[in-house]
Amino acid sequence: MWRVILERLRQKHRTHGYPAEAPVMPGRFQGRPVVDNNTVAGAEGPVACCPTAALAIGPDHRLRLDAGKCLFCGECTKACGQHGVRFTQEHRLAAARREDLVIKGGEEHLADALNKEAARLFGRSLKLRQVSAGGCNACEADTNVLNTLVFDLGRFGIQFVASPRHADGLLVTGPVTKNMELALRKTYEAVPSPKIVIAVGACAISGGLFAGHDETFRGVGDILPVDLFIPGCPPHPWTILDGLLRVLGKLR
């Protein structure tokens, strides 16, 4: 027992001071993309190299990037050099509406809090059931990490629970494989109403890399109504935490 206490003293208190203290992202972190408002000339290259067709030229002849499809691989920035698309260090990416994930020059729509009734119900205690439906275990791992003492999810009143019957909502990862459709529907039905659904990662939002495969759907939205979209491949744990707190109205 003394050995445990000694080790505890050595390893110290390591919980991050978030949200009072801002998270420090790695120097090469590719966060919120910014799309150049003017560029179209020469944009065919970056558009063609995008593996998920996240980058496109809109009807207004301007570049637009769908953060819900984006893998944040940065191939487009390599292809377009200084102009076109660049990724910032901004980790806040979650949106409440699918269309808010489409980034056009300069606009930004972060997720608003749930409606008043939902915020009253879930604001101080949100229990979630996680369902992986074709996720590659990266989104799952970076969701799970929120339970470690660095993030200490419990201090925000959010907890992952073992049964959908104990949950207020689902946090879904993966494009939703055909083989998981039934299990996902049944899990959703087992959650008592009112309930929320959170889609984490490019796959869960749009099918990501697997959009168009016969074996998968194009994300959770094909099966269930989604209340919060958290983009990334996978989203950084801070991005996921920001999304969860934002939807509860704890961050503005």
Partner 1 sequence: MSDARFLRFAHGDVIPRAGVPRIDVAAFNTAVAESVASGHRLVTLFGHPAGKDFIELMAILANDRDGELSVAATAVAGSYPALTPGCPQAHWFEREIAEQWAVTPEGHPWLKPIRFHQPYRPGASPWQRTGETPAQPGITNYFRVEGREIHEVAVGPVHAGIIEPGHFRFQCHGENVFNLEIELGYQHRGIERRIRGGPDNRTIHYMETAGGDTTVGHAMAYCHLMEALGRVRVPARAQVLRGVALELERLANHTGDLGALAGDIGYLPTASFCGRIRGDWLNLTATMCGNRFGRGLIRPGGLGNEPDAECLKNILCRLDAFERDMAGAVELLWATTSVMARLEETGVVSQADAISIGLVGPAARACGLSRDVRNDFPSGIYRYANIPPASWHSGDVFARAFVRWVESQRSIAFIREQLGTLPTGAVAVASGRIAPDAMAVSLVEGWRGEICHVALTDSNGRFEHYKVSDPSFHNWYGLALALRNQQISDFPLCNKSFNLSYCGHDL
What residues line the site for partner 1 (CB under 8 A)? Answer: 3-4, 7-8, 10-11, 14, 26-30, 48-52, 71-75, 129-145, 147-150, 160, 162-164, 174-175, 177, 179-180, 183, 187, 209-210, 213-216, 233-234, 236
Q: What is the SS3 string spanning 145-214?
A: HHHCCCCCHHHHCEEECCCHHHCCEEEEECCCEHHHHHHHHHHHHHCCCCCEEEEECHHHHHCHHHCCCC
**Which residue in 41, 96, 174, 71 sits closest to 55, CA to CA?**
71
Which residue's CB is nearer to partner 1, number 41 or number 182?
182
* Residue with smaller CB distance to partner 1, 112 or 181: 181
Least distance in angstroms from the C-beta of 20 to partner 1: 20
- Closest distance to partner 1 from the beta carbon of 206 (Å): 14
- Separation CA 216–CA 219 (nearest Å): 8
State the nearest-atom distance from the C-beta of 172 to partner 1, in Å: 11
Q: What's phi and psi for 133, nearest 5 deg? A: -125, 65
Structure tokens at 128: 């979630």
Closer residue to partner 1 in complex, CB, 43/136: 136
Residue 122 or 188 with smaller CB distance to partner 1:
188
Q: Which is nearer to partner 1, 35 or 167 (CB)?
A: 167
Complex with partner 1: residue 134 or 221, whichever CB lies closer: 134
H helices of 23-80, in order, are: 44-49, 75-80
Whether the bond into 26 is cis, omega within 30 of 0: no
Q: How far is the CB of 65 from partner 1 (least distance, A)?
A: 16
Q: Taking the complex as a whole, how short is the minimal distance between the CB of residue 156 and partner 1, in angstroms? A: 17
What is the nearest approach in angstroms of partner 1 to the Cβ of residue 94?
18
Contact 62, 72 (CB under 8 A): no
